[in-house]
Structure 1
């Protein structure tokens, strides 16, 4: 597959994944600054966060970190599990997972006591994606006392 055909999310994509007896409904929210003001509209219904960092775009890492800090500071997300994915690990010159972790873990007070994991992935190749989703399902199940599913979440 030609990587130049893969683009960033513009706007909002909605989807679902069924894994065993669990259905994950997800919102893929575009990271453009003008769209970030819409993010908090989805937080109250969220049971977890997957935050994807483009580890090949060193010029925008600080901007991504600022958006990350604003997001995890939101009261509606204080107890939900967090999966931080350093994407594009298949590209030469990308920032390795340990460097991404170092940059994104500078705000332990914001991360708090939530279940948290960081992984290296290549969405293009699928490397690490299934492992991350499996961890997320388990984390959401562990967190069901803090954030129980709503009736519409149950299928």
Structure 2
């Protein structure tokens, strides 16, 4: 299991569509902001990935840590086009990655909405979010440029996450699909 924080339901739906062969998802243009929690599942490489798409609103962030103990990786999706909320997202990110329960858990940073011309580049997003290596700690981490709406970077994100979970199996063993 892993958490999708400050995530976009569009990223989750696009992931399920690209990985689960027979999944017929929600029309992407019908998706609204997550209020509370969305749950999704992807079956790939002998694993079942259970997504927790947690709402990013400040009042909902107090619930995030309830999911950390069962997380095998974190995918943190940043809206690269929303520069007004970027600092709030960075504060939430720092609080999340310094939580002891997530110590050593692989981290994927997704710079989403790269299809929008005004979006900050992946390089700039990385400069902002990874400026404090000591906060990230001793964990495997990676960043990817994506557009959840058109699917760019989504499959690469899931493939990296699966591989990272498998490499980190000594610290947090994943559950096999048939368990």
Counterpart in the other structure of 2:20: none
Unaligned runs of 5+ in 1: none
| Structure 1 runs, 4 residues or longer, greater than 3 Å off | none
Unaligned runs of 5+ in 2: 1-26
TM-score for the superposition, normalised by structure 2:
0.81
Counterpart in the other structure of 1:14: 39
Q: Alpha carbon RMSD of aligned pairs, Å? A: 1.7
User: Which of structures 1 and 2 has the larger relative contact order (alpha carbons within 8 angstroms, sep 6+)?
Assistant: 2
Rounded to whole Å, the distance in 1 between the matches of 2:54 and 2:117 is: 27
Query: Which runs of structure 2 are paired with 1:17-56 in the superposition (5 Å)?
Result: 17-56=42-81
Shift in CA distance, 40/154, structure 1 to aligned 2, threshold 3 Å: farther
Q: Among residues 116, 130, 135, which one is paired with 1:105 in the alignment?
A: 130
* Superposition deviation, residue 55 in structure 1: 0.3
Counterpart in the other structure of 1:125: 150
Rounded to whole Å, the distance in 2 between the matches of 1:136 and 1:154 is: 20
Q: Which moved more, 1:128-137 or 1:105-114?
A: 105-114
Q: Is 1:66 the counterpart of 2:95 in the alignment?
A: no
CA offset digits 1:65-112 (Å, max 9, x no partner): 000000001001011100000000001100110000000011111111
TM-score for the superposition, normalised by structure 1:
0.93
* Superposition deviation, residue 150 in structure 1: 5.4
* Superposition deviation, residue 154 in structure 1: 5.5
When the two structures are aligned, how many residues end up with a matched partner?
Answer: 153
* Superposition deviation, residue 22 in structure 1: 1.2
Q: Is 1:81 the counterpart of 2:106 in the alignment?
A: yes
Aligned to 2:120, the other structure's residue is in SS state coil
Q: Which moved more, 1:48-57 or 1:8-17?
A: 8-17
